[in-house]
Structure 1
Amino acid sequence: MKKRIIALATAAALAATMALTACGSGESGSGSSGSSGSSGEKASITIFNSKMEIQSQMEEMAKEYSEKKGVNVEVYYSSDTVAAHLSTRYAANDPYTISMVDAKDVYSLAKEHAVDLSDQDWVKNTTQAIAIDGKTYGFPVCVEARGVIYNGNAIEKATGKEFDPSTIKTTDDFKKLIEACTAGGMKAATGVLKEDWSLGAHYLAEVYEQHDDPDAYIKGIKDGSIKLADDAKFKEMMDTFDVLKENNYAKDAAISAEREVTEQKLAEGEIAFMFGGNWDWSVISAYDYTDKMGIMAVPNNSTDGSNEKLVGGGSKYFFIDSSDNTSDAQRQAAKDFLNWLVSDPEGQSFIVEKCALVPAFSNITLAVKDPLGASVKTYVDKGALIANYNYLPDDHYAKTGASFQKYLSGEIDRAAFADEVTAYWKTAEVIAH
């Protein structure tokens, strides 16, 4: 396990220590973590937000919450990686009261930096919290899931038939539907995001995640007992990817296709399918989108039921700082804030209606308004989610994504792609858990 993330950025941390200490020295206490000042002052907490698309909503919420609850709340965002950004704060003894991180960061940081939240009321209302050695550290901010996003209006216009995504289970079903769309006048039915995170962290990861024991599967790739190119699941998922690839509107220049252009074409019905997740609504909604959109499971020819499930779960987690730099009063204010998100109607509305997130808590029954989130919620409600595998190395998506990009562009074939992924795993190690 990565015991101390602060070791990753020692030089930067030394500089940050000086800068942050200077900035944080004031009458109300040291550091921007907002240590309590003299008697009678409001409690102060800071929140690190790593989800860029909700920063403005977070800032507005902080202002309103501060006014209503008598707690000074400040929200910060950084475009740096979560690990790198937080390392400077820890090194400067200036942690955030509440930090929003990815699941893997909880496993790396919680034992050393986070408060045990097992006794909090919200724990009983979610299956997505992260617990380590019987202690709950991670508060799930929302649920996100991935599959094939579809434009139902575009499909129905091209085929002349009502579209029911539940009927598209196999790769063969998918191919026939695309052929019908093409016959109905659609020039190209799919778009493929070329980003390494989409290819490596999302699509390739499903090959691992759709196994009952991803740890054992990855171990088999590492030790050579599983030959990836011959593995049934890899072949089934890559057969489906080939359908997406061959019908891509940007097939001849796949690595040049811009995400915004692809998502605009999907939103407006020029294409009908794109692999992605409900986070894509933040891009799609900027365009003149059609009414009947949603997410369906990735069609594949397996018989394990994976073609009727999305892959997903808790996405982004809050944890509360446990260090001496945060006072007990601040920790209590932070706990109160998390409970407000789950139990107070205004907190629930903030998650679902203002941030357009899919809630991770069973007691939150507000309707999810965006169609991709609504699709995800239906899968959540019927227990049709395959769990995310949260222990991939930090460089997995960049390195395997680069190999996947070469496959997408036709630079290498499937066997060579499998070889490059296998070579990556010869030296890579999953996050200890």
Structure 2
Amino acid sequence: MTRWQEEAARLDAADPLADFRAHFLIDDDLAYLDGNSLGALPKATPDRVAEVVRAEWGEGLISSWNAAGWIDLPQRIGAKIAPLVGAQPHEVVVADSVSVNLFKLISAALAMRPGRKVVLSEPGNFPTDLYMIEGLEKQGLAERRLAERDGIESALGGDVALLLLTHVHYKTGEMFDMARLTKAAHDAGALVLWDLSHSVGAVPVDLDGADADFAVGCGYKYLNGGPGAPAFAFVAERHQADLQQPLSGWMGHAKPFEFSDDYEPAPGVDQLLCGTPPIVSMSALEVGVDLMAGIGIAALVAKSRKLSEFTRAAMADMVPELPCISPDDPEVRGSQLSFRARNAYELCQALIARRVVGDFRAPDVLRLGFAPAYVRFADCWRAVQTLRDILDSGEWRKAEFAERSAVT
């Protein structure tokens, strides 16, 4: 047994969250280090979804909107997510996708800053964030401006309406100082929209403490809501009276069941609702959110940092030829480590063939994610050991590992 294997065993034995892995449907021989893309399936989810489908839909039918509380799901789950992101329950609602919520809140922010059209972000931000700005730019409603990380504050000129950033960078894991950049934007007269998709449930987030204006986040990564799970949106209480989101769907109406011809926005964050909530997928999301809320963000963050620090040290010792491009300090990175490799895709596929699941981000990044509710230190050691063996043996050179699927 190597010293790293011994250390992994010691850390697993002392892990206060070790028992939570049993709450997930995940094989014991699977090292799943891709929960930052798609979280594992909670064991309670299939029964909950079956209950919604068979009993609430199958038997209750239309009455379940009231009797089973379907109509309140967006607000109920939002209130459960709120403590994980440092928000008040009435500031968060579950609705639509991250992309759609970005469109709503970018548009709302532009309306709140008349005379300003610039939406400032960084090159290399997650594509959907940049694409949504570009879409509004093509409509003549916005102007996209990009600045490198070290130049963001100096780019906050008097024409900037909104600063849009992803809190944890999806590729490198680098984490922005939310409070500092929010203050800088406010000092320049701009609003700020934070994308928390790679943050919620794994790193500390304090939206209200940072004086954030808006935020979005997804439900299928660390919240374990399932593929394509609904997203959530945050609007600070101080902005809710002035909010004007452009997708004036009937569920965002103040009195949707009066069926008025004219739109009257619902008060508060409820205005961000648009179409009918997807009840089955929202019910699945609630199971995952309940699990994370039950553990608590402090415990999740503590384990996340231990997992990533163990893996970073083991990789530096055992696989030094793959440089880590994530920050060294765990307090300024997300719950992931990214390594640059010329053949990152092939290495990732070779790992998956050995039941060690990480992921690849073009053009040359091998990414390992640490979902603290179910990842073990032994999983991390296995990833390092297996990668070392794949490199030494040249196994990654097999032609099958170079064949690219639609989803990489």
Fold in common (TM above 0.5): no
| Structure whose residues are more often helix by fraction | 1
TM value normalised by structure 2: 0.29
